[in-house]
Each structure stands twice: as C-alpha cells, then as structure tokens.
Amino acid sequence: MTDRRPRVWVSQPLFDDTVAQLALHCDVVSTDAVTKHDSASLSANLADMDGVLITLNERIGAAEIANASALKMIANVGVGYNNLDVPALNAAGIVASNTPDVLTETTADLGFSLLMAAARRIVESDRWLRDGKWGQWSFTTMLGADLHGSTLGILGMGRIGQAIARRGHHGFGMKVLYHNRSQLPAEQEQAVGASYVGFDELLASVDHLVLVLPYTAQNHHIINAAALAKMKPTATLINIARGGIVDELALVDALANGRLASAALDVYENEPNVRPELLALDNIVLTPHIGSASLATRRAMVQVALDNLLAGLGIGPDAGKPVNAINAELLSNGTARIAVAGKKIYDKKR
Ligand code: 8YV
C-alpha cells in the first residue's frame, strides 16, 4: 500500500456513525445536509475520489465520471440502480454495487401495506373522519375491495415480487399470478404459490396488481392507457418499483373516470415532485419512496454498501471482491480499476 489513504465521498447524510466507520480506513468528504447534486456538482465531487457512497438521487453517467480518473468503486445505497449508467461505468472500469436481499421483506411489507390501504380505502377513510363527515354515514360508505380470496397480480418476480407472492398466497389465501422476463422454476413457483401468465392475461385477470420490476428503457410506461384499459375497473394498482414504469397522466385519467378503482404509489416519474393531478384524487394513496424505510433495514443497507465500498478499495475481508458488484464481469475480465489488497493502488492513475 502507499501511505495515501483512499479518498471517499458520501453524497448525502446517512446515519450518524456512517462517516466515522469510513474514516477508520479512508479520508472522507461528507455531505452534512440533504443536497440535490446536479451533474456539475457530481463531477466536482467525484473528481478526486477513489470511492463514493451514493443514493438513488445521484445520477452518474459518462459526464459525471469524465474527470474522475481515480474512481474505482461506486456503492449505491439501494437495490435499484437505474441512477447509474452501467455501460459508461464499464467503459471506464468503475465497479458499482447495490444492496439486494437486506431490503426484500421490508419492501414487500410496504407493498402489502399500500395494497391494503388502497383496496380498503384506509387513508381516504381517515381523511373523511377527520373532516367531520361521519355524520353523513350510509351503509355504502367507503366500500372497498377484498384481498382475501381475490387474485393478486405481480409484475416482476425477483426477490421482492416473490416475498409479496408469499404474503398474498400464504397469508391472505389469494390466487397469485405473475409475469416476468423469465418464468421461475416449478418448485420456486410452488414455494411462493404463484403461476406464470402472459402480460395481457395478467392485466385482465387480476383484482390487484403490484409493480416490482426493475426500471429500464424497455419498460418505460409499460403501464400506459392501453394497459390500464385492459385491467378490471374494480382493480387496485400498486407501484413500489420506479415511477417511470407508470404513465402517471394515464393513471390519473383512469382513476378519475372510474376505469380503475384505486391505486397507491411509493415512486413517481419526477421525484420529489408529485403531479397536482395525483394529489387531487381521493382514490390514491401516496407515500414518499419509503419502500425500504424501516430503521433496521436502512441500517443494514448502509452496512452492505459500506462493506462493498471498502472491498472495492482493497480493504476488509472481501478486499478486491465487492460481494454485490452489479458489473462483476469487470472483476473477472481484468478491466476493473478496483483495488486489490496489498497492491499499491492509490497513486495509480489511468
Ligand atoms: C431506496 C429503493 O434505495 O433500494 C431501492 O431501489 O428504491 C430504496 O430502497 C431508498 O429509498 C434510499 O434512497
């Protein structure tokens, strides 16, 4: 090792002890207040760094890494990484990691909470009661849709999709249908109690549809006016994936005109901005991207990201091999800038 310690940038305030943990091994530049980093700010902050710890709010591509000649490792605190231009990182030899597994159950819990809240009109009922409207009660006030005995649809059947399927099948006795890029092996389908169907069949058959697929250019607005028109008008739509999967204006139109009964969104097309048309609707539950937001899970996510970051800087038990590398091929084909323990790396510029 050279005598220079690796330099690391932390893009947002995380937990109180996060920077201290990193500072045991690295020279850390931290960000003390929640900050919206534009491209210029990212370029400037990345320029001298060996590694960075970022959230999904930091969008990093070719422009942002152009001057970051020492950057070896980007640890993203989150499982989704559509904020990263992976081909650009690959071309530069920069390894990136995410935080799968630790947030699966917490995010599935949120998906199910939103489903129950939207289908049974919980938030709308709360507002109505607080508005002093109980005196206007009638037998048909706040009629919602059942979960038990209904058909649950899941679009995207990765870890979180499977955790939602288990909840629906084993917990609520729901029939569970899913659509995914690839069908699960039969024993896995059986374990989660879900059956594979085509996309159109999924839309048409389910009473409740939960979106949990990774966001890519191919599935931008996959839930558009045409897709919504295929759903039952009594159905519930839940999006806990990424905002761009749903055409929000088409959703507003369907909810406002009785073509979809209810919805819940945790993610939006233009976070943190929420369309006024969504805010104006009663039959939608809106939460501010809190899918993984339990204390234990957010702590676990930061720990996983820290471990990956340090590994990418040649430090710790996984030195040179970040466990959750999303472009691990750079490690096997030798194009990674990554640091391997014991090698002099921090003075090496490409
Ligand atoms: C965020 C998420 O990471 O993991 C993901 O993909 O969307 C969330 O867990 C979290 O909100 C922190 O930004």
Residues 125 and 206 in one domain: yes
Q: Does residue 327 have its Cβ closer than 6 Å to ligand 1?
A: no
C-alpha count within 13 angstroms, C-beta hemisphere, residue 4: 14
- Rounded to two decimals, the pTM is 0.95
Q: Are 69 and 48 in contact (CB under 8 A)?
A: no
Residue 58 appears among annotated catalytic residues: no
| pLDDT tens profile 4-45 | 899 999 999 999 999 999 999 999 999 999 999 999 999 999
| pLDDT tens profile 178-199 | 999 999 999 999 999 999 999 9
Q: pLDDT at position 2, please? A: 54
| Distance in Å, CA 104 to ligand 1 centroid | 11
Q: Does residue 325 have its Cβ closer than 6 Å to ligand 1?
A: no
Of 227, 262, 286, the domain-final residue: 286
Residues 263 and 307 in one domain: no
Q: Is residue 145 part of a domain?
A: yes
Please, what's the largest Cα pairwise distance for the chain? 76
- The domain of 323 spans 7-102+295-333
CATH value at residue 109: 3.40.50.720
Identify any residues that bridge with 55 across adjacent strands, giving them in sequence order: none
Residues 93 and 109 in one domain: no
| Distance in Å, CA 211 to ligand 1 centroid | 15
Residues 263 and 207 in one domain: yes
Residues 123 and 162 in one domain: yes
Neighbours of 54 (CB within 10 A): 28
Residues 118 and 195 in one domain: yes
Q: Could you tell me which of 84, 41, 1 has the C-alpha nearest to residue 9?
A: 41
Residues 280 and 151 in one domain: yes
Residues 116 and 237 in one domain: yes
